[in-house]
Chain A
């Protein structure tokens, strides 16, 4: 079928799909995705996404609003986000490795029009859709048939014969491009909507800063429910580069994956090189193909940065910082073997300085700017600051605030909850959290969400979750303490596994007679944590 002339951006200028469409037009035969040894070129990925988008718009009779993409590191899960954007929708990544109850909750909150599902997630479909009302449209491009309970489904045969959607519904810059769910302190995952302007601002910075070209080969280490995956996909697509998806087994042997595929761009949480160091697979000069190495999601130890630099001497090594609310990353620090060690605090690499056009401030509890060199909460402003939490104005008002004394680039700042200080060099250094959020292998965990789950056991009176053990500022897992009489620990463990992703499930739940209190009469978390070390 001949395609209509490319008519993108006739209304809005830029959107998250623009870069992919331009690359697909310029380099249709270039490798776009490499998954388990199979290469999909740009033309093939575009063709799938346009067919699926056509099926969605045809069936709904209108552009879509929000589309779930339920898959794991597959051609369907990647092309699915494009199909959502092509149909005029926000994409909502869903993860088949998450407990079904959690996915159900995300689908409930997102109010999807449709869901695109890959082969690996198909068997969960009936379970996770049982609460969808009205029933969702299901696109299953790899399914010959689906079990009952899946609602209206369009399967492989029909999708293969579907026409291509040539006239894409327009997107506006402030439309929501994607909706991600992060851990929520009230016991439910909370949605963070990100606009096309937010995402394009980040993509523009990254493409220019790292000099991305179509010859680059990107790692894809992050689950798609983790916003750092947006870098892997959309920064690569902006320039026609290729993306190499690491499967779970590849994550335990990353050096092998990098060298076999001659990757040029690596992006992961620091926990991965930390594991490589433990296993002695991060050897000097072993990662010669890399030219850009980026770490984000948790504190980066100086020893890890230096070991990676030695393994990839031709590569720049950068520590990126940024919560989902500020669109992927907003501060950066480039490691320098000769000078960086002197700027590290507590053995951790600085989180650096804001991207051009973004502003940062360090404030106290009253949102007053602290003295130069003092410590306080980091707040960030600029075009990457997202609109606020999904359908939660009170939480939005709490975290997205005006700082009248700060006017660059705008008064509206996001309070990160991260305690930092600013060095004389202008670089910010991470000191810890102002609340009870921890990172486990880079995943953000609100301990309140774990505690809310534990408290659902009827006999549990108090519950405290802590990150433990903590090494280099990042927790290896969660341990919990509960108090009450006749607590059913087996029930708690089962409930936690049903409701929480694996990294949030407590590795150990300990019953204490009474919770220790500190001088302020609050539960003494430190005292509880100290019992774990003895």
Chain B
């Protein structure tokens, strides 16, 4: 589970897998801008067959929050 979401995040944010840390946040690195955030949300939707609305999009702004969300929808 963690490997899968780490891979999705690493690819969307153009990071090496070992750079995907829970405290990484939207806007904290140059590659996590609004464009990348929308791409990341679309990638998560495709990978986990979910639809993420705007209210949720603005909550999923750290790697930790994304992992928690994914664990919830995959449970």
Interface residue? B31 (CB, 8 A): yes
* Interface class of chain A by DSSP: helix
State the Cβ distance, B10 to closest chain A Cβ, in Å: 15
Which residues of the partner chain A approach B58 to less than 8 Å between Cβ atoms? 249-250, 252-253, 256
Which residues of the partner chain B approach A251 to less than 8 Å between Cβ atoms? 34
| Cα A279 to Cα B35 with chains together (Å) | 10
Which residues of the partner chain B approach A476 to less than 8 Å between Cβ atoms? 35
> What 6 A-B pairs are tightest by C-beta distance, nearest first?
A253-B54, A256-B54, A502-B30, A275-B38, A253-B58, A249-B58
Which residues of the partner chain B approach A507 to less than 8 Å between Cβ atoms? 14, 31
| Cα A307 to Cα B26 with chains together (Å) | 27
| Cα A252 to Cα B56 with chains together (Å) | 11
Identify 16 residue pairs between A and B in the complex whose beta-carbon atoms are under 8 Å apart, listed by A's number: A250-B58, A252-B34, A252-B38, A252-B57, A253-B55, A253-B57, A255-B54, A256-B58, A275-B34, A275-B35, A279-B38, A281-B53, A441-B35, A476-B35, A502-B30, A507-B31
Question: What per-residue 1/0 map shows which CB atoms of A252-266 lie under 8 Å from chain B?
Answer: 110110000000000
Beyond A281-B54, A507-B14, is A252–B31 a contact (Cβ under 8 Å)? no
Interface residue? A304 (CB, 8 A): no
| Cα A248 to Cα B37 with chains together (Å) | 11
| Cα A281 to Cα B54 with chains together (Å) | 7
Interface residue? A200 (CB, 8 A): no
| Cα A278 to Cα B53 with chains together (Å) | 13
Interface residue? A505 (CB, 8 A): yes
Count class of interface residues, chain B:
10 to 19
Which partner residue on chain A sits nearest B56 by CB separation?
A253
Which residues of the partner chain A approach B20 to less than 8 Å between Cβ atoms? none
State the Cβ distance, A283 to closest chain B Cβ, in Å: 11
Interface residue? A309 (CB, 8 A): no
Which residues of the partner chain B approach A253 to less than 8 Å between Cβ atoms? 54-55, 57-58
Question: What per-residue 1/0 map shows which CB atoms of A263-283 lie under 8 Å from chain B?
Answer: 000000001100100110100
Beyond A248-B26, A252-B37, A507-B14, is A279–B57 a contact (Cβ under 8 Å)? yes
| Cα A239 to Cα B37 with chains together (Å) | 36
